Amino acid sequence: MRRFILGAGLAALLAGTALADNPQFTGADPHAVFIGNELWVFPTGGPGGSWAADRFGAFSSRDLRHWRARGELIRREQISWIKDDGAPAHFLWAPAIARRGGRYYLYFSVGPQNPTPSRIGVAVAERPQGPYRDIGHPLIADGGHGFEAIDPMVFVDPRSGKAYLYAGGSAGAKLRVWELGADMISIVREIPVATPPNFTEGAFVHVRNGTYYLSYSHGRWNGPDYSVHYATAKSPTGPWTYRGAILTADARHQGPGHHSFVRTPSGAWLIVYHRWERPPGPGPYSGEREIAIDRIRYRSDGSLREVAMTDGAAAPRLAGH
């Protein structure tokens, strides 16, 4: 997802701890992970004012109601290679976080796509809140052949220990996968994969009971068709079997998407995503997207039930809170 407006909801979080229900706070493209008993959310945008697509921030909660701002992770001017393409302006979006060997790795998109190709970068830190250090060069510099290098996601397979980078979408609507080196900042090889049906962008992978789930956004980022679909496989690189849509617009929320799945310490599954708080209507929508958290439920055969979007206090809480 390439556009983000940072509004008063997120600005309020910057003062310290803020109280929230669904929607949780203003933001987009959230990547969520549990660190201990605390849920951390890494969204597009960060400390700053409107259109603050020049830095990343993080937010954490122990109960999914009280949110603590974790400050600034990295700023645009700290990325040494960002101006190498000669484009007149640059934006940061769609962060993804991975952990290995006691370190944290922040993967991110750098645009614009036009007039120069978008790129994917990575920065490293000793703590989830940073500060993160840019590795000095883009991880993916130019996909070529209509591929748009956006929306990175890194999945470390618990079965093999291998790390995989998933990226791509929007204009080219093409998914590509690379195996990362043990250092998490180098490419071992690209793995050919088929782009699944209805893929637009925002790939995410998780595994449950031996089944790998590839979920992703479909549609226009600021339109009513934006939604989440999924496919399954017996390996983290497919071949994938398309299963359908699981998160679509309803009477009170439009364009839900660019999500992440996360398992709570008690074993429940959640989806963290953004949406437009508005009734049905034609796009393009304007204003601010909001981050929400809802429950994921699996059928006995492992398939996913459609997500029911919640409002206010109906939003999920963590066990014990």
Encode pLDDT of 273-319 as tens digits: 999 999 999 999 999 899 999 999 999 999 999 999 999 999 999 98
What average pLDDT does the segment 52-71 reach? 93
Domains of the chain: 8-296 (2.115.10.20)
* Run of H or E including 13: helix 8-13
pLDDT tens for each residue of 254-285: 999 999 999 999 999 999 999 999 999 999 99
Pairing of strands 119-125, 133-134: antiparallel
Q: Report the number of secondary-structure helices (H) and strands (E) in the chain.
A: 1, 21
Phi, psi of 257, deg, nearest 5: 175, -165
Distance CA 35, CA 127 (A): 11
Tokens 């600021």 appear where? 222
| pLDDT for residue 16 | 60
Q: How crowded is residue 236: how many other Cβ atoms within 10 Å of its Cβ?
A: 24
Least confident of 14-23, 54-63, 110-119, 241-250: 14-23
Q: What are phi and psi of 253, to 5 degrees?
A: -140, 140
Q: What is the pLDDT of residue 265?
A: 96
Distance CA 87, CA 211 (A): 42
CB-based contact 224:282 (threshold 8 Å): yes
For the whole model, what pTM was predicted?
0.94
User: What is the reported pLDDT for 170?
Assistant: 81
Q: What are the angstrom distances between the C-alpha of 203 and each of 30, 50, 105, 137, 214?
A: 12, 26, 18, 23, 7
How far is residue 34 from each of residues 26, 92, 125, 169, 248, measured CA to CA in Å? 20, 23, 17, 27, 25
User: Phi/psi at 162 (nearest 5 deg)?
Assistant: -80, 150
Q: How far apart are the first and last CA of the chain?
A: 33
Confidence category of residue 53, pLDDT binned at 50, 70, 90: confident
pLDDT digits (tens, 9 = 90+) for 102-157: 999 999 999 988 888 899 999 999 999 999 999 999 999 976 667 899 999 999 99
